[in-house]
């Protein structure tokens, strides 16, 4: 059963409710401000962690990129050396073939 109240009590209760819920009430503003600040700080910390993780990934990628470039330089140098040796061997083999043909014709 709902207790009966005098209309004057309703106005007084409504006034109290309006005071508490009012954006002009210091308690209301402080509570909202604290909540907003807490949410903002939480999001800021979350963002800071993500940025730190991104920086670590970037550092790792830079190290890996540097290592790969060095490896590529070594492999390019090795390839050039092997091509040069291959050309020298080809010249020797051709010279040997030429000498063998000459020996064959001379016999």
At 63-88, the pLDDT tens digits run 999 999 999 999 999 999 999 999 99
Identify whether the C-beta of residue 19 lies closer than 8 Å to the C-beta of residue 25: yes
Distance CA(13)–CA(3), nearest Å, equals 14
pLDDT at 92 over 60: yes
pTM of the model: 0.52
In this prediction, residue 32 carries a pLDDT of 64
The one-character DSSP state at 25 is S
Compute CA distances 24 → 11, 14, 15, 72, 88, whole Å. 19, 16, 13, 68, 92
In this prediction, residue 91 carries a pLDDT of 97
Under the banding of pLDDT at 50, 70 and 90, the label for residue 34 is confident
Average pLDDT of the residues of the chain = 82
């Amino acid at each position: 059963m709902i207790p009966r109240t005098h209309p004057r009590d309703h106005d007084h209760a409504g006034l109290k409710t309006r005071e508490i819920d009012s954006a002009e009430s210091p308690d209301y503003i402080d509570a909202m401000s604290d909540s907003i600040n807490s949410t903002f700080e939480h999001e800021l910390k979350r963002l800071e962690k993500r940025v730190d993780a991104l920086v670590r990934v970037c550092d790792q990628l830079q190290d890996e990129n540097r290592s790969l470039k060095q490896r590529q330089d070594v492999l390019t140098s090795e390839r050039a050396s092997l091509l040069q040796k291959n050309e020298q061997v080809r010249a020797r083999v051709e010279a040997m073939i030429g000498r063998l043909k000459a020996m064959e014709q001379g016999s």
